[in-house]
Amino acid sequence: MSLALAKPRTKPQSVRREELLRSAEQLFIAQGAAATSIDDIAAGAEVAKGTFYLYFASKDEMIAALREEFGRVSCARIAAAVAACDAADWHGKLAAWVEAGVDSYLDRLRLHDALFHEAGLHRRRGGKGDNSIVRDLATLLATGSAAGAWSVEEPPVTAMLLFHALHGAVDQAIARHTEKQRGDLIRILRDFFLRGVSLAAPRSTAKSCRTERNGRA
């Protein structure tokens, strides 16, 4: 084989780590985190088991990395939806937050459950709400309150309560097999969030700017 056609014997560390993460993600979605071994993850990434330990001390450490990544992706999706609203459209921003929050949860439900529910994070006190999504919502509430758009005395506490309300409503829909009625769920949560920040806007003005652009209910 000529040198020009020879493949590199090693890959950059960032690429190898990414391949391990994607292997674990696919396996967790397919069979759950508990049923997936480090051997499975290494085989999926086409590396020796020892290579896994060059990047992660344990499977738990890898799960923590995937949780962090899940949060970053969700935050970016929600932030993009909020940023698409007009600067003064606070009703639209909060409604967009709700819609993107529900979508982010349901669109990646199997991965979410493998990383958070199955692994037991939500059984830890504060685990379900101590995350970047809640902190970003608290920032939105504080900024809107400072702008006079609504009245929220304790943004961090209010953000925690609203976050739990959203997750509780989505979890109930999943348990009742009604999660496909996503539009109804989003409408209920939009109105609840607006009341939670001391707003009683008419339903017609409480739509997410994202929903209006897409022609969705």
First-to-last C-alpha distance (Å) of the chain = 60
d(CA 48, CA 10): 13
pLDDT at 39 over 60: yes
Place of tokens 């209910």: 217
Q: Burial code of 162-180, b = ≥16 C-beta within 10 A, e = fewer?
A: bbebbbebbeebeeeeebe
Determine the average pLDDT of the residues in 90-106: 96
Higher pLDDT, 3 or 120: 120
What are the pLDDT digits (tens) for 145-200? 999 999 998 999 999 999 999 999 999 999 999 988 999 999 999 999 999 997 65
pLDDT at 21 over 70: yes
Place of tokens 């006190």: 125
The amino acid at residue 214 is: N
DSSP string, 27-83: HHHHH-STT--HHHHHHHTTS-HHHHTTT-SSHHHHHHHHHHHHHHHHHHHHHHHHH
Token digits of residue 140: 């939105």
Higher pLDDT, 190 or 217: 190
* pTM attached to this predicted model: 0.81
Higher pLDDT, 106 or 118: 106
pLDDT of residue 211: 62
DSSP string, 34-46: TT--HHHHHHHTT
Window from 46-55, 109-118, 132-141 with minimum mean pLDDT: 109-118
Determine the average pLDDT of the residues in 85-113: 95
How high does pLDDT run on average in the chain? 86
Determine the average pLDDT of the residues in 106-114: 93
Higher pLDDT, 99 or 204: 99
Determine the average pLDDT of the residues in 118-142: 74
What are the pLDDT digits (tens) for 46-60? 999 999 999 999 999
